[in-house]
A and B are shown apart, each in its own frame.
Chain A
């Protein structure tokens, strides 16, 4: 079946602009995670969604970051007033139980 998909695959934006990143999880997976991976670094947890429960936003680095998950499926990560330090690969993962399956990521470059 289809895996996790993310769009766009690459995004170049100017400092101060808002960006939206999209994640389509594996069908039937109730859990969805967003991570950030800066160049040459490990994975930094951002936010977690589980079904209709309130999301765990404990990893969001600032109030410029927000995320939604509509209808328990597609999720959008929004970064407002982007800064150069936001440049990274943003990874989405979904899971049905314990194993997370990752999408290909969105490479964000803020000029």
Chain B
């Protein structure tokens, strides 16, 4: 069975600090996708990134970066120089093909609070 673990339930950092959100996944499939979503206080989930299982290149987008390591089944997310607007719940998700569709399993989320 597929599983996504976000061990950090809540993190507080002071503005401008760097913070890393951990995500560990379990799957038996060789082809799968990993995602990060942001859920700000307004409630709407915002797609941040998708990574497929064959692409282990790390990615950087502005202050955001993602580290995908298949050897440790991890897909960690780092925010550099955090800002108050980064305060949100962040979800990691795993998608596998099942009977012709993508079955997505979400982690329980990490609540990030950035203190000014």
Contact = CB atoms under 8 A, between A and B. Distances in A.
Interface of chain A, main secondary structure:
strand
Nearest to B45: A102
- Decide if the interface of chain B is mainly helix, strand, loop or mixed: strand
Contacts of A107: 43
B33 A89 contact: no
Contact of A95 (B42, B46, B100, B102): B102
Of A53, A99, A101, chain B has the most CB atoms within 10 Å of the CB of A99
B51 to A, nearest CB: 11
B68 interface: no
Contact of A91 (B45, B101, B108, B109): B45
Interface in B47-101: 47, 50, 91, 95, 99-101
Interface string A67-104: 00000000000000000000001010101011111111
A105 interface: yes
Size range of the interface on B? 20 to 34
Counting chain A CB atoms within 10 Å of each CB, the highest count among B43, B44, B45 belongs to B45
A56 B102 CA distance: 11
Interface of B: 33, 35, 37, 42-47, 50, 91, 95, 99-109
Contact of A41 (B42, B99, B108): B108
B56 to A, nearest CB: 17
A3 to B, nearest CB: 9
7 contacts: A31-B102, A41-B108, A42-B91, A56-B101, A99-B35, A101-B47, A104-B44
A-B CB proximity, top 3 nearest: A102-B45, A42-B108, A43-B106
